[in-house]
């Protein structure tokens, strides 16, 4: 097993594109977004002979509560190999790098199905989640690309785009009846949704609505610099769409959708409270789903929802007071499936980690998670 620093973006992204799970947060371009925001990406590849069997992109976070390396939805390991030695070798290399940077811990949030065989040696459950761990997604291909693990070699992005898409009418009929009615009502009331042709300059609409949404729901937001870096890096690669929902000559809802490796992710959204009775966000989501289907994408990822279970009667939230409870009803109305991921894990490096852990346990309690 050889662990090397990565230097080839094409090689990196080609490996990621060939996996069943292809989180864009592990893409090379996303690492550059973090770099633009002052957080250094650290990219390692694991090789057996000349073959790459795993990749891991970590981000150096110089937080006041404790410097650490965060691993967003990584590492990504080839499913045809034993993940344990690959993960162990990558983590040991990252621990050495983390120590050289004065970090007190690693925070690993793997994109791995809960209750799988995957494990991280010497790790403990994190008091906080780094990223969404209960994902709601809509398969756009048959069979479901995230559930069909039988093929020994997942198809490439080019093969993904070669057909098998679910008909648009079938997707629309699978929506919750209320969701279908709200989409039609938005159209009837004159809402129009457009994909910005100049997302960098039009980002101001999203930022204004996002600031309003943040104040209304009292959540800790990404910075404006992060949004700008993400759009600036991904949009020229046709891997990002800024949607604008117009009503009475005003933008009343907006979103940032990511498209990478044959998947679309609803990453950020915002809306105007003054027009809360106008269901613009429903039409916006349906427009993005239709665009993803026409693009040939295989999965539409709604991102995080509250914990719960998918039953014959629909999705049932297990924690009604969870901060994501409201958005869960909205997202699950579009149909789809639940993917529950392994909880975020921490690998302590120094005793200072336990001070950070105590602080974060208090923060978790205050946030209601």
- 243-275 pLDDT, tens per residue? 999 999 999 999 999 999 999 999 999 999 999
pTM: 0.94
Whole-number pLDDT of residue 322: 83
Strand segments (E) across 215-304: 240-247, 250-260, 263-271, 299-304
Nearest residue to 70 (alpha-carbon basis) of 346, 307, 319, 334? 346
Cis peptide before 278 (omega within 30 of 0): no
Query: For the range 10-14, what are the long-range contacts, defined as Cβ-Cβ under 8 Å and sequence gap of 24 or more?
Result: 11/45, 11/52, 12/43, 12/45, 12/55, 13/261
DSSP state of 92: H
- Residue 163 in this model has a pLDDT that exceeds 70: no
Whole-number pLDDT of residue 154: 45
Whole-number pLDDT of residue 151: 41
Measure the CA–CA gap between 101 and 11, rounded to whole angstroms: 27
Whole-number pLDDT of residue 320: 87
Share of the chain above pLDDT 70, in %: 95
Q: What is the pLDDT of residues 325-351, one digit of tens each?
A: 889 999 999 999 999 999 999 999 999
153 band by pLDDT with thresholds 50, 70 and 90: very low
Q: What is the pLDDT of residues 17-54, one digit of tens each?
A: 999 999 999 999 999 999 999 999 999 999 999 999 99
Residue 75: alpha-carbon gap to chain centroid:
14
Domains belonging to the chain, first-starting first, are: 2-130+342-367 (3.40.630.30), 136-340 (3.40.630.30)
Mean pLDDT of 292-313: 94
**H/E segment holding residue 168:** helix 168-173
* Ramachandran assignment for 348, one of left (phi > 0), alpha (psi -120 to 50 degrees), beta (any other): beta
Residue 114 tokens read as: 């809960």
């Amino acid at each position: 097993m050889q662990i090397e620093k990565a230097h080839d973006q094409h090689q990196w992204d080609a490996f990621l594109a060939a996996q069943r799970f292809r989180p864009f947060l592990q893409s090379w371009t996303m690492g550059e977004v973090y770099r633009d925001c002052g957080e250094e990406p650290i990219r390692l590849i694991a090789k057996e002979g000349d073959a790459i069997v795993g990749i891991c992109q970590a981000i150096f976070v110089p937080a006041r509560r404790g410097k650490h390396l965060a691993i967003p939805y990584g590492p990504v390991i080839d499913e045809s190999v034993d993940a344990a030695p690959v993960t162990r070798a990558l983590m040991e290399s990252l621990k050495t790098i983390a120590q050289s940077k004065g970090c007190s811990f690693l925070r690993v949030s793997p994109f791995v199905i809960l209750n799988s065989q995957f494990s991280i040696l010497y790790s403990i459950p994190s008091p906080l989640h780094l990223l969404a761990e209960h994902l709601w997604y809509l398969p756009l291909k048959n069979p479901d690309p995230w559930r069909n693990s039988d093929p020994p070699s997942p198809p490439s992005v080019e093969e993904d785009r070669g057909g098998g898409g679910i008909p648009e009418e079938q997707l629309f009929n699978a929506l919750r009846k209320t969701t279908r009615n709200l989409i039609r009502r938005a159209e009837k009331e004159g809402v129009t949704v457009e994909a910005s042709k100049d997302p960098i300059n039009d980002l101001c609409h999203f930022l204004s609505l996002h600031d309003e949404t943040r104040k209304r729901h009292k959540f800790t937001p990404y910075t404006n610099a992060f949004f700008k870096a993400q759009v600036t890096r991904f949009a020229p690669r046709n891997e990002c769409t800024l949607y604008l929902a117009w009503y009475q000559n005003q933008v009343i809802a907006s979103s940032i959708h990511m498209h990478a490796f044959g998947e679309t992710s609803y990453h950020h959204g915002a809306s105007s409270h003054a027009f809360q009775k106008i269901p613009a966000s429903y039409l916006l989501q349906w427009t993005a789903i239709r665009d993803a289907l026409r693009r040939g994408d295989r999965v539409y990822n709604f991102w995080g929802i509250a914990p719960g279970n998918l039953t014959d009667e629909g999705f049932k939230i297990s924690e009604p007071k969870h901060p994501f409870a409201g958005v869960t009803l909205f997202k699950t109305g579009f149909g789809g499936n639940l993917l529950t991921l392994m909880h975020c894990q921490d690998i302590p490096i120094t005793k200072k980690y336990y001070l950070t852990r105590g602080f974060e346990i208090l923060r978790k309690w205050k946030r209601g998670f």
